[in-house]
Amino acid sequence: MSKKLVVAIFVWSLLGMIASVALIIAAIAVAVLSDSLIMQGDDVVGIERSPSLVAAVVMASVGVLVLILASIGQFVAWVGAVVNTFALEDKAWFVILLVAGLVSLGFVATLIYVIIGPDGSKVTAPRQGRPVTTGA
């Protein structure tokens, strides 16, 4: 997987996460502001069915679904970055990405890789063949 593809997956899934959080916040606002939730102080003690409550539930459900899909995209970007850096001769990036992901810091490591990391797909393998000799 090329770095360009890793960056694209990372950025689009990050935008999906941001959009899904905004949608979930909007759904909560619709539910609260439409008086569909019966409040007693700070506690919700009941729910009153209304079209706006249905809209809020649908909005929140779509937001959660997009958040799950975007999280899968982030995981795919991390795996792509790990696979990409494995091809590098210096294994420092590979080890850092792998260990960071295994200790739940994959997002941070992938973000740093996207910004300043090398592209392992552009590494060329050393040529194998007979050395050129001059006639002597």
Domain presence at residue 85: yes
Which two three-digit tokens encode residue 86? 């494995």
For residue 34, what are the domain limits? 3-117
Domain presence at residue 126: no
Q: Over pLDDT 90: what percentage of the chain?
A: 74
Own/partner pairs, 31-40, CB within 8 angstroms, 24+ separation: 31/56, 31/57
Domain presence at residue 57: yes
Domain presence at residue 50: yes
Over range 82-87, report the average pLDDT: 93
Domain presence at residue 123: no
Q: How many CB atoms lie within 10 A of CB 59?
A: 19
Closest CA to 101 of 115, 91, 113, 89: 113
Domain presence at residue 52: yes
Domain presence at residue 29: yes
- The number of domains in the chain is 1
Q: Is the pLDDT of residue 115 over 80?
A: yes
Q: What digits encode the pLDDT tens for the residues 11-25?
A: 999 999 999 999 999
SS3 45: strand
Q: Quick one: pLDDT at residue 127?
A: 55
Q: Which amino acid is at 14?
A: L
Q: Give pTM, 2 decimals.
A: 0.81
Domain presence at residue 131: no
